[in-house]
């Protein structure tokens, strides 16, 4: 069933934008309980503008447990502009998990009126539906939470643009499966060097290799934060 405000997408999957902030040495957080600030207000505003142009946003279950993000469009003007185009003010929220253990009081579920979708395995679906009854739709994808099947389901719901915001395991899954069309990477002006801290990606076989490099489409300085926009493959964002 299509999400209210959207119509079913004719493509096999949405256009996928992966967005991440990392230290110079590739860490997306430190190992402390507190969330590390890797960006600045100018970059937060850039991310908010990018969010306002997509239909849905995806984070992994670990990100929900660790960071408790709300994943809303912050700017009232951008929310109003979305509404003027006939779109929901905020984004459809998406996560995936094979283990469950999601708190229904997390801000992922309690903020924003738009749908929340939790993709999982057949085995975990029953328990998750009991845990999240009334706060999210749980979608079983089979024996494993296959990313291509997840994207196909989102396309059928009318999601044409998806922003993926981590964490490292999710980044790795999408990139190694060659399911990313564009990367927005903000580089913080420091190193971390902590072997226990999470990184932008995990080890894997990445098709974005020296023989198939990405195309650098844009660079900018946001204070001391460097912003890089890479394009992968030939897909163009839907208009």
For residue 132, tell me if it sits in a domain.
yes
For residue 141, tell me if it sits in a domain.
Answer: yes
Q: CA–CA separation, 210 vs 64, rounded Å?
A: 33
How many structural domains is the chain composed of? 1
The reported pTM is: 0.95
Q: Is residue 2, in this structure, part of any structural domain at all?
A: no
Is residue 85 one of the residues assigned to a domain? yes
Residue 225 is part of a domain; what is its CATH number? 3.40.430.10
For 22, the domain range is 15-204+211-231
Instruction: In whole angstroms, give the CA distance from residue 200 to residue 142.
Output: 27
pLDDT of residue 8: 63
**Contact at 8 Å (CB) between 124 and 88?**
no
How confident is the model over 62-119, as pLDDT tens digits? 999 999 999 999 999 999 999 999 999 999 999 999 999 999 999 999 999 999 999 9
For the chain, percent of residues with pLDDT exceeding 70: 97
In a domain, residue 37? The reply is yes
Residue 237 lies in a domain: no
Q: Is residue 1 part of a domain?
A: no
Confirm whether 19 is domain-assigned.
Answer: yes
């Amino acid at each position: 069933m299509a999400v209210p405000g959207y119509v079913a997408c004719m493509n096999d999957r949405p256009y996928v934008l992966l967005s991440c902030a990392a230290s110079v040495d590739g860490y997306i957080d430190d190992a402390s309980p507190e969330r590390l600030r890797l960006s600045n207000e100018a970059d937060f505003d850039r991310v908010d503008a990018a969010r306002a142009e997509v239909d849905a946003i995806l984070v992994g279950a670990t990100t929900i447990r660790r960071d408790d993000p709300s994943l809303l469009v912050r700017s009232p003007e951008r929310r109003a502009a979305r509404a003027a185009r006939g779109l929901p003010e905020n984004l459809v929220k998406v996560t995936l998990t094979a283990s469950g253990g999601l708190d229904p009081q997390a801000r992922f579920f309690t903020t924003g009126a738009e749908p929340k979708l939790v993709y999982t395995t057949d085995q975990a679906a029953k328990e998750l539906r009991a845990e999240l009854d009334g706060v999210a739709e749980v979608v079983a994808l089979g024996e494993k939470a296959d990313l291509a099947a997840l994207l196909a389901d989102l396309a059928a719901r009318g999601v044409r643009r998806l922003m993926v915001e981590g964490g490292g395991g999710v980044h790795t899954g999408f990139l190694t499966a060659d399911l990313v069309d564009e990367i927005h990477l903000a580089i913080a002006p420091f190193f971390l060097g902590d072997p226990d801290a999470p990184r932008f990606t995990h080890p894997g076989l990445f098709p974005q290799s020296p023989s198939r490099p990405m195309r650098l489409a844009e660079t900018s300085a946001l204070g001391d934060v460097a912003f890089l926009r890479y394009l992968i493959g030939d897909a163009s964002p839907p208009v």
